[in-house]
């Protein structure tokens, strides 16, 4: 992707993205706080929508490409794009929530996977490795690094635990549009793609399977599951490339990332 196609944000635009990011992170935290046995994914989705709209924002996902929910809520083997509905969460489930909020002309985008009650040791390990792989990846989200350096770091970390990274879906630039250049893969060799520059804003989002990395999209044309039925997890934040360490934009006012 040519660098001239990548939006470098002005200070004013960065401030707007911080605002959108904080709101999005708060919506993610709200969803996470609701995850317990007996709650339906629809109830979580409606709470996310009410929260975002109560702050004068719009849910980024609602109607995006025809998606019917305000949040993607994906359970167990569902990696991403789970459609909220009547499903009741059960003890032992792991639940991935992906949310976005649009306000002031800009989007925030973030996700996390949460345990529902007591979960297996393997499930908890998958959640932790997925989250940490994000932090390993963004060690390379620095001025002068290549975009693929992030994905290489994610893949190396994930595979060291015997898990695998999804190849069919990737991270992306984020800003005035929910999905902008560049594509940010979670796999591949380092040293490829655009060089990172201050002012770039990207969403880094490892999607990890406990088993094989192959996935399939179900007949609803949205819900994406692991082909082998293995557990999956997802973790994402929007971030700003700076002259030093990257700045996480999807953080709550009290500094929470989940």
Look up the domain containing 200 and give its range. Answer: 3-248
Strands (E), the chain: 58-59, 71-75, 78-80, 94-103, 106-115, 164-165, 171-173, 180-184, 201-204, 207-209, 215-217, 224-226, 232-234, 237-240, 247-248
**In a structure prediction context, what are the per-residue pLDDT tens digits for the chain, which is 258 residues long?**
444 489 999 999 999 999 999 999 999 999 999 999 999 999 999 999 999 999 999 999 999 999 999 999 999 999 999 999 999 999 999 999 999 999 999 999 999 999 999 999 999 999 999 999 999 999 999 999 999 999 999 999 999 999 999 999 999 999 999 999 999 999 999 999 999 999 999 999 999 999 999 999 999 999 999 999 999 999 999 999 999 999 999 999 888 888
Where does residue 248 rank: exposed (0-12), middle (13-18), buried (19+ CB within 10 A)? Answer: buried
Residue at 257 is within a domain: no
- Full-prediction pTM beyond 0.85? yes
Whether 258 is covered by a domain: the verdict is: no
Instruction: Evaluate whether residue 254 is within a structural domain.
Output: no
Q: What pLDDT digit, counting tens, does each position of 30-56 carry?
A: 999 999 999 999 999 999 999 999 999
Give the pairing of strands 207-209 and 164-165.
Answer: antiparallel
Q: Examine residue 233 and state whether it is found in any structural domain, yes or no.
A: yes
Give the chain's domain count: 1
Distance CA 237, CA 255 (A): 13
Please check whether residue 255 lies inside any domain of the structure.
no
- We report the CATH number of the domain holding residue 81 as 3.90.230.10
Q: In Å, how far from its chain's centre is CA 105? A: 20
How many Å apart are CA 45 and CA 74, to the nearest integer?
12
- Of the candidates 203, 206, 201, 202, the one whose C-alpha atom is nearest the C-alpha of residue 235 is 206
Residue 128 lies in a domain: yes
Q: Residue 256: inside a domain, yes or no? A: no
1-12 confidence digits (pLDDT tens): 444 489 999 999
């Amino acid at each position: 992707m040519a660098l001239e196609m990548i939006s470098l944000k002005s200070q004013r635009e960065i401030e707007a993205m911080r605002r959108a990011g904080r709101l999005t992170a708060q919506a993610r935290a709200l969803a996470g706080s609701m995850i317990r046995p007996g709650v339906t994914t629809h109830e979580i989705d409606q709470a996310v929508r009410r929260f975002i709209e109560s702050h004068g924002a719009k849910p980024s996902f609602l109607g995006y490409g025809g998606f019917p929910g305000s949040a993607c809520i994906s359970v167990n083997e569902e990696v991403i794009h789970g459609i909220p509905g009547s499903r009741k969460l059960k003890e032992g489930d792991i639940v991935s929530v992906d949310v976005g909020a649009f306000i002031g002309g800009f989007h925030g985008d973030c996700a996390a996977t949460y345990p529902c009650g007591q979960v297996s040791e393997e499930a908890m390990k998958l959640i932790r490795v997925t989250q940490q792989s994000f932090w390993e990846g963004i060690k390379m989200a620095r001025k002068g690094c290549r975009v693929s350096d992030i994905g290489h770091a994610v893949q190396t970390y994930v595979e060291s635990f015997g898990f695998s990274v999804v190849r069919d879906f990737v991270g992306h630039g984020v800003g005035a549009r929910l999905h902008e250049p560049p594509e940010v893969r979670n796999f591949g060799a380092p040293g490829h793609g655009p060089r990172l520059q201050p002012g770039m804003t990207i969403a880094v989002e490892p999607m990890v399977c406990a088993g094989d990395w192959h996935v399939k999209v179900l007949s609803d044309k949205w819900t994406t599951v692991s082909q082998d039925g293995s557990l999956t997890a997802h973790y994402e934040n929007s971030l700003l490339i700076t002259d030093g360490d990257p700045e996480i934009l999807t953080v709550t006012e009290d500094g929470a990332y989940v």
